[in-house]
Structure 1
Amino acid sequence: MISNEEILKEVLPNNNNNQEKEAEDSDPLPPITHNEAIDYYDKLKKEALKQRFFSARQTDLNSFINII
């Protein structure tokens, strides 16, 4: 089992070495314009609604099959 000290060492932000290492390891996201961000948001929203619709349709189909 991991000790509390080890957990706190990893979680607390006062460890400068880890922060610098993580900053070097992570690739920054490419800059995008406000309009691009809105377009991406709209695409994600449409996809989420589509998934919700298909999930609801599958649930209705399952209910119908169970009735028969």
Structure 2
Amino acid sequence: MLALLAGGSAYGQETAEGRADPVVVLDVPFLAQTESLCGGAAASMVLRYWGDSDIQAGDFPAADDA
């Protein structure tokens, strides 16, 4: 997923010239998740990467499988 966010291709994919595309690994901060807050945790990690250090997984509604 990080390669997609960085605008890169899948890891190890070769170009038409036979060279491997460069892989960009972003320094996205890890945030633990609960079962119902996986989306909130993912969104929070990306927003923290972009500088919003106050965001928490609980700031997003929990997933509801009902």
The structure with the larger Rg is 1
More relative contact order, 1 or 2 (CA 8 Å, 6+ apart): 2
Whether the TM-score (by the shorter chain) exceeds 0.5 is no
**TM-score between the two structures when normalised by the length of structure 2:** 0.23
**TM-score between the two structures when normalised by the length of structure 1:** 0.23
